[in-house]
Amino acid sequence: MEAGDLQQGDARTMAEVCAFLAGVLSAPPTEESAGAVARMASALGIACPGDVATATLERDYADLFVVPNPRYVAPYESVYRDRWEVPGAFRSADGGAEGSATGKGLLMGESTLRVRRLQLEAGLQPQRDLPDHVANEMWLLAHLWKKEAEATPADRPEWARRRVQFSNEHLQQWLGDLAAKVRQNQRVGIYGATLEIAQAVIGVDDEAG
């Protein structure tokens, strides 16, 4: 696979690639999935270690995405994008401050609700975890590619429009920040490489948009 092959791939192929990446990001890896990531990364010129013990990958997945610890990276869009209003009384030591400020870094924000609505509108049943988990957003992108592949010629442009809009308004807006944090905190490079591959995949929609 060359970088240009992503642009040349048909909708069904793109759906399969997105679904595979969603699977890698939703559960601890297997030897097979780690090997597939390494091959995809190599084809795209992305640095990625090969032949890493599965136990090491499982530990890295848990530390990065599951277990609260100093290396944990929240894989949710709302954490990176949404702002919450903080009443002044909660910012003042004596409770006397007026007005409000905004904070970020919390779950279940507007992004969560928007992605949930897009899932339902596209006819996608909810996956486990919150809707704006990176894996669930990649599942939705895969679903939209699949609907485009299966649509009649008359309906295909509408599914393409939905796909591009979702990619541009959601994944494009935060996947780079998530990838940077993962590269900073990972012990091995599989998950950083996976997210770089995902960035290349959503770059197809960037070109289309």
Does the pLDDT of residue 3 top 50, yes or no? no
Long-range contacts of range 110-115, CB-CB < 8 Å, 24 or more positions apart?
110/78, 110/82, 111/76, 111/77, 111/78, 111/81, 111/82, 111/170, 112/76, 112/77, 112/78, 112/82, 114/170, 115/77, 115/140, 115/170
The whole-number pLDDT of residue 129 equals: 87
Q: Which residue has the higher pLDDT, 97 or 146?
A: 146
pLDDT digits (tens, 9 = 90+) for 60-78: 999 999 999 999 999 999 9
pLDDT in tens, 126-145: 777 899 999 999 999 999 99
Tell which residue, 19, 11, 10, 13, has the closest CA to residue 142: 19
Q: Report pLDDT for 98.
A: 52
pLDDT at 205 over 70: no
Is the pLDDT at 7 greater than 80, yes or no? no
CATH for 3-208 (3.90.1640.30, 1.10.3480.10, 3.30.70.260, 2.30.110.10): 1.10.3480.10
Q: What are the angstrom distances between the C-alpha of 95 and each of 84, 88, 91, 150, 202?
A: 19, 8, 7, 58, 46
Q: What is the pTM of this model?
A: 0.86
| Averaged pLDDT score across all residues of the chain | 86
Secondary structure of residue 3 in the 3-state scheme: helix
Domain residue ranges of the chain, discontinuous segments joined by + = 3-208
pLDDT for residue 208 is more than 50: no
